[in-house]
Structure 1
Amino acid sequence: MSHLLEMRKISKQFNDNPVLNGIDFTADKGQVHAIIGENGAGKSTLMKILAGLFPPDSGDILLEGRPVAIGNPKQAQELGIAIIYQEIHLFQDLNVTENVFMRREPLKNIKWLRLIDWDKAYKETQKVLDELGLSFHSKAIVKSLSIAQQKFLEMIKALSQNAKIMILDEPTAAFSEQEIELLFKVIRDMKKLGVSIIYISHRVEEIQQIADTVTVLRDGAVIESCGVRDIDRNLIVKAMVGKELQDRYPKLKVKIGKEAMRVEGLGYQGMIGNINLDVRKGEILGITGLSGSGRRTLAKVLVGIHEPSEGKIHLNGKAFTRMSPHLARQNGLCYAAGIHNEEGLILNSTITENITLPNLERISSAGFIKSGRELLYAKDLVERLEIKADERDVVTNLSGGNQKKVILAKWLFSGAKILIIEEPTAGIDIVSKIDIYNIMNELVLSGASIIMISSDLGEVMGLSDRIAVMYKGEIRKIFSREEASQERILYYASGGK
């Protein structure tokens, strides 16, 4: 019996650099085949070839035993291949149904007129939403949905286009535990429909829960491909990185110093309210909560992207009732944004330009940038943070892990004393995660403070000195490191008192 999908001896190189070296990969109906590997292992390139974004240099693709040529994304879609990227690709100002039926709206005849049958479209969309147990409505405007809900919408859109093979690229980046469980339920429902799911992730524990088969890539080659039950977590990690990793959350014991920042009664337009919080020098304060809890809004209010509507922010012994990004940076408060790295980077600029942008005064003289001085500073940070690239390289060409490091490097260059880091390791591999954690350790060792906003409870509990849990715009509980457990955090994150 032939596989639904076979990719045979797929090879690809860019600028004479081999990225894929004769990859063999298969996928079957009603199964989840996970692909795992470090950033740069070749996972995304392999899937972009399948989705028609890149042509392979050599190799064959077969669907249901028949050779196919996939020259562009439209051809891939017509063959029943859909890819859901980490970045959201939806029309934010349109509603759910308009996005699902874009360019293929059902029509009806009224006398001599041919009109869009919106009643039918809304009814069909709502039926799928209800069947999959999704809580948002077919008429909801997309920008009002959470990141997780928008991801589910993209999957529904692909299903409605009769996708036989659905590629999910890091689908749970910044998902809460409940959203991950809902995603797994939706995936199991799709399996019953005979859809083949190709699941790209760095989260080994997720793969062990949801996948039937796993393929491990390293340096553009298949290292292991087997049933999930035939391999344990340690062997998967060893296959990915070529060695065993001892400590996933390398937390250092750092002496906690004086108060660095305090907020009193902070609020913003009813979205967050009555926020009372402090962070000390040398401390990592974790902030977590479910999607929609207000974590992200709080970060943006603290650094003045949203101006507070009530309350005070105390910095350097001064109380501020108003805040702006410029004022925050002047007082050493910086925000490393980002579920997706483009929020914190100018992707078409070089590493050097991204690093020095927040503090051009430091590399300027008489209003002119000293390029030699600029390169020296950038080169030093590239080496210190072990960014695997030349400081003149364009950021868009870097792996996700190295892009995260560039975001941290730019705020180190700006002289950050209090660094708000949002989803520090979303969508990056295990080794790069540990690199990021070690950079955070170095920051707090030097006396800086970190506010880490994360939906990954493992890293929140593994790295934080204290953990603040948010629910509906308020802080429901603050735990010490010793008090915290996953169950207790989820109790308060779900509205417990």
Structure 2
Amino acid sequence: MRSITKTFPGVRALDQVEFDLHKGEVHVLVGENGAGKSTLIKILSGAYRMDAGEIVIDNKPVEIRNPRDAADLGIFTIYQEIMLVPPLTVAENIFLGELQTRAGVVDWGEVRRKSRQLLDKLGAPQIPLNAPLKDLGIAQQQLVAIARALRRQTRILIMDEPTSSLTPTEIEQLFNTIRSLKSEGVGIIYISHRLEEIKQIGDRITVMRDGKVIGTLPVREAQKQAIVRMMVGRDVLVEPRACRTQAGEPVLRVEHFSVPGRLHDICLEVKRGEVVGVAGLIGAGRTELARALFGADKGGRGDVYLDGMPVRIRSPYDAITAGMALVPEDRKIQGIVGVLSVQVNLMLAYGNRHYPALINFGEDKRITQEYIDKLSIRTPTAAKRLMELSGGNQQKVVLARWLCMTLKVLILDEVTRGIDVGAKAEIYRFIDDLACAGYGILMISSELPEILTLSDRILVMHQGRITGEFSRQEATQERIMLKAIGGEN
């Protein structure tokens, strides 16, 4: 890719960008949200047209006008936000648009056989082929998207945050697949905010900032702090947790809480000023627990207490009224309305709280600006459509939505998924500040370093049950993983 330039109204997204990829290479592309990575890969995959520049494959200039042109050249992309059809089955999504036929009739046996081969190759034999995609968790949906890409004659595979919702075991399985693809000569562009992954899988790394390439170097020469400095233009230190006073009385207590077929006899408590981490493998029931406690999923049975008082939560409205909030795992689908403005998204829950009173637009604007400043949300105006902001800034808006309410408990489900290192450090400090202010925080994360850094206590789930509990001093990655697979310490 030579001298690639792309401009949107008021913004030069790419400025004379140079990028190349060798056969059988993993070229890692990093940068803060808004650096231009997504725009670059969307040009290569045919989603955007470049304003200027040239794309050359096998020493021949090519024109990529749309995704079909890219596919014809063997270029396929696995986006961070799953680009599949939720109501269709797993097998139908893997062969979407290219179902195997025999004499004009879909050969479902062949479709299922090849789908199973692809998922087995990815180490995902547990994914049911006939299940609607919408019934799977984010991690399993991601594996289906990868399987869809692998069924084609791929020459260039673009992977945008492919490990953002995978467990360490699933990540290693994915890396084995990537190594296999490399040995077959597939060139891979690998976008990640997880800098610790780079040395495991990458050959070269290119750093972007503000629409420009800052530098390209071999991974063996890349030092983490130097890469961060190139990404953000300054040193970013994820400081140790702020010293918090001893946690107060329990603000959330859950006793013998179950959801038939999903959760079994859950007992837990979260104290004021405490961060309780929830670890476990994909399918352990962590997201199911968060959604059931918040009333987003029905069928919860058991006792829930807030500030020692029993509460009955049958819907998110009940949870919000009682002082409980949820930042969901899937930000784009469950957390925001992307086509609406920053202000509308930030004030969604606040407006419900004051129904049926008339909306005070002046007050909404004042509150929105207050939290834009407080959380350092990077947006030119509160009227900007939220979908046009980076993932980190979208997540800050979701957090701000709840902070303008009167809350007791905040449930965070993969709160830093898919955001860059700078925004992640800001959210870490913000979680500390909330705990210091007396919030009770239940934090679900697939990143064990994140759990160990932020949590005062850590609960481990396996097959819908809590199988372990550790203080911060007792917890290690090894002990947590042992409990996560159902083992005994």
Q: TM-score range by the shorter chain?
A: over 0.9
Q: Provide TM-score, normalisation by structure 2.
A: 0.95
How far residue 142 of structure 1 moved from its aligned partner, in angstroms, is: 4.3
- 1:50 maps to which of 39, 44, 54: 44
Conserved? CA contact 1:275–1:475, under 8 Å? yes
How many angstroms apart in 2 are the aligned matches of 1:353 and 1:195?
44
SS, match of residue 4 in structure 2: strand
- 1:115 maps to which of 74, 84, 105: 105
How many angstroms apart in 2 are the aligned matches of 1:393 and 1:102?
34
Q: Does 1:478 align with 2:480?
A: no
Conserved? CA contact 1:464–1:481, under 8 Å? yes
1:109-166 CA-partner distances (Å, limit 9, x unpaired): 4xxxx32333333333333334444314673424354433322222222222212111
How many angstroms apart in 2 are the aligned matches of 1:188 and 1:226?
20
How many angstroms apart in 1 are the aligned matches of 2:72 and 2:253?
56
Which residue identity does 1:409 align to in structure 2?
A
Q: Report the identity percentage.
A: 40
How many angstroms apart in 2 are the aligned matches of 1:189 and 1:74?
26
How far residue 31 of structure 1 moved from its aligned partner, in angstroms, is: 1.2
SS, match of residue 368 in structure 1: coil
Cα 1:57–1:307 shift into 2, 3 Å: same
Alignment partner, residue 375 of structure 1: 365
How many angstroms apart in 2 are the aligned matches of 1:304 and 1:362?
17
Which residue identity does 1:206 align to in structure 2?
E
1:252-277 CA-partner distances (Å, limit 9, x unpaired): 42331111010000001120011110
1:62-112 CA-partner distances (Å, limit 9, x unpaired): 111110111111111111111111122223343333223233233334xxx
Which residue identity does 2:374 align to in structure 1?
R
How many angstroms apart in 2 are the aligned matches of 1:480 and 1:211?
35
Q: How many residues align?
A: 486
Pairing of 1:175-186 with structure 2 (within 5 A): 175-186=166-177
1:354-402 CA-partner distances (Å, limit 9, x unpaired): 12221226778x8321111110111111111111112222211111011
Conserved? CA contact 2:116–2:125, under 8 Å? no
How far residue 236 of structure 1 moved from its aligned partner, in angstroms, is: 1.1
How far residue 228 of structure 1 moved from its aligned partner, in angstroms, is: 0.3
**Which 4+ residue blocks in structure 1 deviate beyond 6 angstroms?**
361-364
Q: Does 1:127 align with 2:122?
A: no
1:453-485 CA-partner distances (Å, limit 9, x unpaired): 111111100000000000000001111010000
How many angstroms apart in 2 are the aligned matches of 1:323 and 1:128?
40
Q: Does 1:275 align with 2:269?
A: no
Conserved? CA contact 2:21–2:27, under 8 Å? yes
Say what the alpha-carbon RMSD is for the aligned residues. 1.9
Which residue identity does 2:365 align to in structure 1?
L
Alignment partner, residue 35 of structure 1: 29
How many angstroms apart in 2 are the aligned matches of 1:289 and 1:309?
20
Conserved? CA contact 1:39–1:401, under 8 Å? yes
Cα 1:359–1:340 shift into 2, 3 Å: closer
Conserved? CA contact 1:241–1:431, under 8 Å? yes
Cα 1:103–1:361 shift into 2, 3 Å: closer
How many angstroms apart in 2 are the aligned matches of 1:249 and 1:391?
33
How many angstroms apart in 1 are the aligned matches of 2:351 and 2:99?
51
Pairing of 1:427-446 with structure 2 (within 5 A): 427-446=418-437
Cα 1:361–1:211 shift into 2, 3 Å: closer
How many angstroms apart in 1 are the aligned matches of 2:457 and 2:229?
32
Alignment partner, residue 419 of structure 1: 410
Cα 1:248–1:236 shift into 2, 3 Å: farther
Alignment partner, residue 183 of structure 2: 192
Q: Does 1:256 align with 2:244?
A: no
How many angstroms apart in 1 are the aligned matches of 2:352 and 2:100?
58
Q: Does 1:359 align with 2:350?
A: yes
Q: Does 1:323 align with 2:311?
A: no
How many angstroms apart in 2 are the aligned matches of 1:125 and 1:361?
45
How many angstroms apart in 1 are the aligned matches of 2:31 and 2:436?
31
Pairing of 1:47-446 with structure 2 (within 5 A): 47-109=41-103, 114-136=104-126, 139-143=129-133, 144-247=135-238, 250-320=241-311, 322-360=313-351, 367-389=357-379, 390-446=381-437
Which residue identity does 1:473 align to in structure 2?
G
What are structure 1's unaligned runs of at least 5 residues? 1-6
SS, match of residue 59 in structure 1: strand
Cα 1:249–1:56 shift into 2, 3 Å: farther
Conserved? CA contact 2:138–2:330, under 8 Å? no
What are structure 2's unaligned runs of at least 5 residues? none
Which residue identity does 2:402 align to in structure 1?
W
